[in-house]
Amino acid sequence: MKQLIEQFQQSLAALDRVKADALFQEALATMAPIQAVEQLVVPSLEHIGAAWHRGDLALSQVYMSGRFCEALVDGALPPSDPDRKHQPRSAIVVLSDYHDLGKRIVYSIMRASGFELFDYGRMDVDQLVERAIADQLRVLMISVLILPSALKVKQVCSRLKERGVDVKVVVGGAPFLFDAQLWQDVGADAMGSSASEAVAIVERLMGAMQ
Amino acid sequence: MNAITMTSMQRTLTALGHQEADRVPLFLLTTLHGAKELNLSIEDYFSRFENVVEGQIRLRQKYRSDCLYPFFYASIETEAWGADTLFLPDGPPLCGAPIIRKAEDIDRLESPSVPDCAGLAKVLKTIGALKAQVGDTVPIIGVAISPFSLPVMQMGFHSYIELLYEQPQRFERLMALNEAFTVSWANAQLAAGATAICYFDPVSSPTNIPRDLYLRTGQQVAKRTIAQIKGPTATHMASGRCLSILPDVAQSGTAVVGVSALEDLGQVKRAAQARVSLLGNLNGIEMRRWTPGQAEHEVKRAIAKAGRGGGFILGDNHGEIPWQVPDQVLLAIADAVDRWGRYPLNWIDEWVRTHGP
């Protein structure tokens, strides 16, 4: 399995879609789709995310890997499949600004890891708070690129708290990478320093909620 | 040499010649703060070139920066291509909806004429008015988004990544259009009085694309474009990393490279080997919550790592100081450069003994 994971990671980093597909099919020949996702796709994407955080891989490779894996996993584990992880009720959003690459990457990687979640697109604070309450979210992932948007997370967190909503807020994006203290300053519950960290964070939060 | 007080231009040119000037030059790249100085909203501030002229003059007097920075906002360039700009009350104006909604739109796209764009004309008037005031005593830094990075605003980042990997012919057509525009825009700024052009090229950073792709794409675009710009350029990755491609960036013909706060300035300085000068790398995001003491410490850290031997300009890591950074921090940075930036920087040996190289 270790060799398969290494080969799969390499094919993703090289954007070799054909080889990645062949390796995924090889995994499917010996295990259930959800096992192939958890044992092959998730660790590979974690590795790719960590390599980006260290500066060893580029964002374009992370984005394309996420897209490839999302398509592979959709083929083996369609959204309606009962093995898909619909809990905790989660959503992802770009808050306030208009830069959505980070959100797209996290969304793809979450789905490639077997999760189903709402994609809210871009929203302002008021709209986001109302929607999060209406959807009874347990985890809200917020992606931003610019500092003013990152600072607006504070309003989202305090408004949700005022309304007595039990939702965990996970943030990610450039301002949080450049200031390691910022996610706590804005009242978030966690910060993902790469897209694949979002998966580990949601799994951790899910464990704590059970 | 260092006992003489130089003009900002002399100081900068000496540093760029990899010599030690009277002190380390400071490029405090404030843009939005001009609106605060004039007590205007950001949108109103950028609506008239006279505001930006007055704002830049006041900011330089206040913070003692060694350059003037008549940069309005990045999407002023995409306005020329037909895009809208969205103004925020507390941050940089943003580009509205992409002008390239699907890749096929590139087939019908035409490069706009610089003189026909009202926004660009405002910038040129600003540069001209600043030049009339300072002559050759202060560098005036114009800005051009690289043809290779402009598509992030023209079509959205994810669509552009897909284009890069999947549609090489359309990519090449878009680069040809963008190169014509960028060269024309950069040269218009130089003709209006800009001393140099900051060539913002974040997509080329290894943060965003791998080196092999950069060598086939962004570097080729940079070589062709910079060769046609009739003045010096500084390549800025706008917070993106540069270390692993520094020699490649130097080959593009640029004179200066902006350094990310994510990288060790000393390591980048050693890698530069006097082939390019460095600009950086104060952390603009953290800066909003620094105390004056922290600001002083960060200035000393940067100067200790990269100041000796010239080839270094102190600045932030992104190419623009965020709106949220307060006066007291910017003033503390200016004070610290004045105190600790004076060559021959003998204090560094003691600093290195305490803090490491």
Per the structure, how many domains does chain A have? 2
The pTM of the full predicted model, rounded to 2 decimals, is 0.95
- Among the candidates A76, A98, A126, a domain finishes at A76
Contact A137, A167 (CB under 8 A): yes
Q: What is the CATH number of the domain that holds A202?
A: 3.40.50.280
pLDDT in the model for residue A206:
85
- Quote the tokens at residue A31: 């295990």
Inter-residue contact B126 to B70 (CB < 8 Å): yes
B-chain CB neighbours of A179 within 8 Å are: 283, 285-286, 289
Among B90, B239, B241, the residue with its CB nearest the CB of A174 is: B239
What's the domain range around A7?
2-76
In a shared domain, residues A36 and A94:
no
pLDDT of residue B1: 47
Instruction: Mark whether A136 and A199 lie in a shared domain.
Output: yes
Backbone phi and psi for residue B87, each to the nearest 5 degrees, phi listed first: -90, 135
- B168 within domain boundaries: yes
Asked, for residue B3, whether it belongs to a domain, the answer is no
Q: Is residue B314 part of a domain?
A: yes
Q: Look up the ipTM and state it.
A: 0.94
Query: Does the pLDDT of residue A93 top 80, yes or no?
Result: yes
Q: Is the pLDDT of residue B2 over 70?
A: no
Binary contact (A60, B156; C-beta < 8 A): no
Q: Which residue has the tokens 């209006």?
A: B192
Nearest CA among B88, B173, B283, B175 for reference residue A99:
B88
- pLDDT > 90 in chain B, percent: 97
Q: B88 is in which domain, residue-wise?
A: 8-355
Of the listed ranges A31-45, A80-94, B91-105, the one predicted with least confidence: A80-94
Cβ of residue A177 closer than 8 Å to a chain B Cβ: yes
**A64 and A111 assigned to the same domain:** no
Question: Closest Cα of chain B to A209: distance in Å?
Answer: 33
Percent above pLDDT 90 for chain A: 82
Q: Is residue A133 part of a domain?
A: yes
Give the integer Cα–Cα distance in Å for B52 and B91: 16
The 10s digit of each residue's pLDDT in B200-242 is: 999 999 999 999 999 999 999 999 999 999 999 999 999 999 9
Tell me whether A133 touches chain B (CB under 8 Å).
Answer: no
Residues in chain A: 210
Of the ranges A89-103, B59-73, B91-105, which one carries the lowest mean pLDDT score?
Answer: A89-103
Average pLDDT, chain B: 97
In a domain, A84, yes or no: no
Cis peptide bond upstream of B344, omega within 30: yes
A102/A166 Cα distance (integer angstroms): 25
Give the residue-averaged pLDDT of B157-178. Answer: 97
**B71 within some domain:** yes
Q: What is the dihedral of CA B154, A120, A165, A110, to 10 degrees?
A: -100
Q: Where are the alpha helices (DSSP H) in chain A?
A: 2-13, 17-28, 33-36, 42-54, 59-76, 101-112, 125-134, 147-162, 174-178, 182-185, 195-209
Mean pLDDT of B55-68: 98
